[in-house]
Amino acid sequence: MPRASTRLTFAVLATGAGVFSMLQSLIAPALPTVQHALHASPSTATWVMTAYLLSASVFTPILGRVGDLAGRKRTLVAVLLAVLAGCLVAALAPNIGILIVARVLQGVGGALFPLSFGIIRDEFAPTRVSGSISNLSAVIAAGGGVGMVAAGPIVSALDYRWLFWIPVAIVAATVLIALRYIPESSERTEGKVGWTGAVLLSGWLVALLLPLSQAGQWGWGSAKVLGLFAAALALFAVWLVAETRSRTPLIDLRVLRLPAVRTTNTAALLFGAGMYSIWSFLPGFVQTPAAAGYGFGAGVTESGLLMLPMLVAMFLSGVLAGRLEPRVGAKALLTTGAALGALACAFLTLWHDARWQIGVVAGLFGLGIGLAFASMANLIVGSVPVAQTGAATGMNANIRTIGGSIGAALTSVLVTGRLQPSGLPYASGYTHGWALLTLLCLAAAGAALLVPARRQGSPAEAPTDPGVTRAPARVR
């Protein structure tokens, strides 16, 4: 097999992870169009988003661990093929049910994040790992912004099905290049996947995220919501016991208890709540007709363009983080990123009457996302054993998603809890929502301050793993 350059390896990883991140947000602005085209009810159409969220949450940590055990390159290719199949089925879907199945397949791509971080740790020189992880995190963050900005023009110029046809072509090319040029992992872990832990993890994640995403329709006090929350709590407790007693746990709980990992995951939970809520509610705010007393009556394309400063800022700050991290440390970058998010939300709480104010908020929050994404990944990768890279980074991504679901659910209660006679929310609902997000981001900055400082180049504070089989080191 030809030896790949690290630049080619990075390009493949960035393309795959970027496409998945784009698919996460690409369909949201076009959901009313999809609903109308496939003759679906609003409640059914929401499953296009929910199915993707649940699938990604389940597969991200599980396949991250499979990659640690079976080889990251082969797992990466299998995941890319699942995303390719999901995009192809979605582009051809004759009804909403098939589209929902396709979104489940696309959600498997969540594992691209931990697999990519693991491959970078395996294949890149130690001095380049931190910067490369920061750059990849910038691409992942920017991918979500690309989805929001590109959805309107694609649907207007072509058709909503091209939201999936375009990724089909990109992912197909990525698979071919990955098969030929990405080297197999130089680090292997002896053992097997703890399927009991995997099933229990999947169970409590679904039981937690499903009511959070559907509570607006089912009602927070409904039997389904309360029952699922109770099931999530019970399954989580059983999962903790099972993983503690297992000889081959899916996720080594000792790793999650490490101070650097624990505090970083706490910051991820809180910052994720603010980040996903901004992504979910700011476009709706600017699309609200001015007759409601706020908003600009923007179309899908214009609302995407108003988010463009966020896209640019996310990418630039993520790349900049890789240059700054060796000098100031990932902890300082995470704290700064969360603080910028809080500043953006505070600005939005007080000033949201002009388009330029939305642009300023989007830019500030984008700077925060770029710094936070890059620093969280580096803190996790630098604190865990090689054998737990996939599982640990996968759980970090999952915790961020859980935070996003909680934040979006709480913001939805504030925004939609009281409606005008026209059915539109009152401006005060959004204002209270932005204030809540300010507090969540401030709490994330506080959690980041608790991350233990570690001198650059010092060994990661992580339990040793005797199950790691090391291949001979490659000459770089």
CATH number, domain with residue 7: 1.20.1250.20
pLDDT value for 171: 94
Average pLDDT, the chain: 85
Q: Which two tokens stand for residue 402?
A: 């859980």
- Amino acid (one-letter) located at 297: G
pLDDT value for 460: 44
- Domain final residue, candidates 161, 189, 217: 189
User: Sign of dihedral through CA atoms 374, 380, 381, 382?
Assistant: positive
* Bigger pLDDT: 470 vs 6: 6
CA distance 206 to 228: 9
CA distance 381 to 394: 11
Residue found under tokens 């490369």: 132
Same domain, 236 and 127: no
Phi and psi (nearest 5°) for 260? Answer: -65, -40
pLDDT value for 186: 63
* Bigger pLDDT: 143 vs 437: 437
pLDDT value for 331: 93
pLDDT value for 283: 83
pLDDT value for 468: 42
Range of the domain at 171: 1-189
User: Sign of dihedral through CA atoms 63, 64, 69, 70?
Assistant: positive
Same domain, 222 and 327: no
**HSE value, Cβ hemisphere, 13 Å, CA-based, for 81:** 9
Q: Which two tokens stand for residue 437?
A: 């997000």
Query: pLDDT band at residue 150, thresholds of 50, 70 and 90?
Result: confident
> Cβ neighbours of residue 180 under 8 Å, at least 6 residues apart?
1, 2
- Domain final residue, candidates 174, 189, 204: 189
pLDDT value for 466: 40
Same domain, 17 and 126: yes
CA distance 45 to 141: 25
End-to-end CA distance of the chain: 16
CA distance 45 to 28: 10
Beta bridge partners of 130: none
- Whether 272 contacts 399, CB under 8 Å: yes
Same domain, 397 and 361: yes
Residue 463 in domain:
no
The mean pLDDT value for 314-330 works out to 87
In the chain, % of residues over pLDDT 70: 93
Residue 87 in domain:
yes
Tens-place pLDDT, residues 18-29:
888 888 888 877
The mean pLDDT value for 375-391 works out to 83
Residue 471 in domain:
no
Residue 69 in domain:
yes
> Cβ neighbours of residue 164 under 8 Å, at least 6 residues apart?
87, 88, 90, 91, 102
Residue 467 in domain:
no
Query: pLDDT band at residue 189, thresholds of 50, 70 and 90?
Result: low
Is the pLDDT at 1 greater than 70, yes or no? no
Is the pLDDT at 359 greater than 60, yes or no? yes
Is the pLDDT at 177 greater than 50, yes or no? yes
The mean pLDDT value for 255-261 works out to 89
| pTM of the predicted structure, to 2 decimals | 0.81
CA distance 125 to 354: 48
* Bigger pLDDT: 304 vs 136: 136
Beta bridge partners of 469: 188
Nearest one of 3, 37, 305, 262 to 158, comparing CA atoms: 37
Same domain, 242 and 377: no
- Whether 285 contacts 355, CB under 8 Å: no
pLDDT value for 191: 61
Residue 465 in domain:
no
CA distance 71 to 182: 12
Same domain, 212 and 331: no
The alpha carbon of 233 is separated from its chain's Cα centroid by a whole number of angstroms, namely 23
- Domain final residue, candidates 165, 189, 213: 189
Same domain, 213 and 282: no
Residue 474 in domain:
no
Same domain, 260 and 362: yes
Same domain, 239 and 269: no
Same domain, 309 and 380: yes
The total of structural domains in the chain comes to 3
Same domain, 426 and 374: yes
Query: What is the SS3 assignment for 250?
Result: coil
Phi and psi (nearest 5°) for 468? Answer: -85, 125
Residue 475 in domain:
no
Rg of the chain on CA atoms, in Å: 21
Same domain, 284 and 421: yes
Query: What is the SS3 assignment for 461?
Result: coil
Q: Which two tokens stand for residue 172?
A: 């197909």
